[in-house]
Amino acid sequence: MTVLTVTGGKGGTGKTVVAVNLALALSSLTGERVLLVDLDADNPCTYTLLNVEPKTVEEVKSFKPVIDKDACVRCGTCVKHCPTHALFLIPNAGLSFIETLCEGCAMCMYVCPKEAISRGHRLTGWVKEADAGDLHLVLGELRPGDRKYHDVMEAALNYAKRIWGNYRIVVIDTPPGTGKGILMALNSSDIIVAVTEPTSLGLLDLKRLNRLVTPLGKPEIVVVNKYGLPGGAHNKLERYLQECGLRWAKVRYDKRLMSAYIRGKPVIRYDPDAPSALDIQALAEMLAKEMSLNRS
Cβ–Cβ < 8 Å for 223, 4: no
Residue 294: its pLDDT value, please? 44
- Give tens-digit pLDDT for 188-229: 999 999 999 999 999 999 999 999 999 999 999 999 999 999
Which of 60-69, 275-284, 285-294 has the weakest average pLDDT? 285-294
295 pLDDT more than 80: no
- Give tens-digit pLDDT for 145-196: 888 888 999 999 999 999 999 999 999 999 988 788 899 999 999 999 999 9
When the candidates are 3.40.50.300, 3.40.50.970, 3.40.50.10490, 3.30.910.20, the CATH number that belongs to 2-60+126-291 is 3.40.50.300
- Average confidence score pLDDT of the chain: 93
Residue 293: its pLDDT value, please? 57
Average pLDDT (100-109) is 90
- Give tens-digit pLDDT for 109-147: 999 999 999 999 999 999 999 999 999 999 999 999 888
DSSP-assigned letters across all residues of 5-54: EEE-SSTTS-HHHHHHHHHHHHHHHH---EEEEE--TTS--HHHHHT---
Residue 180: its pLDDT value, please? 83
Measuring CA to CA, how many Å separate 73 from each of 69, 76, 108, 116, 289?
8, 8, 14, 9, 67
Q: Is 234 exposed, middle or buried (0-12, 13-18, 19+ CB in 10 A)?
A: middle
9/158: higher pLDDT: 158
Q: Among residues of the chain, what percentage have pLDDT more than 90?
A: 84
Domain ranges of the chain: 2-60+126-291, 61-123
Measuring CA to CA, how many Å separate 214 from each of 5, 123, 266?
14, 36, 31
3-class SS at 172?
A: strand
pLDDT-derived band at 292, boundaries 50, 70, 90: confident
Domain covering 61-123 in this structure, CATH number: 3.30.70.20
Residue 99: its pLDDT value, please? 87
What distance in Å separates the CA atoms of residue 164 and residue 79, rounded to the nearest whole number? 43
- What are the residues whose beta carbons fall under 8 Å from the beta carbon of 238, sequence distance 6 or more? none
The pTM score is 0.90
Strands 2-7 and 94-97 come out as unpaired
> Phi-psi bin for 245: left (phi > 0), alpha (psi -120 to 50), beta?
left
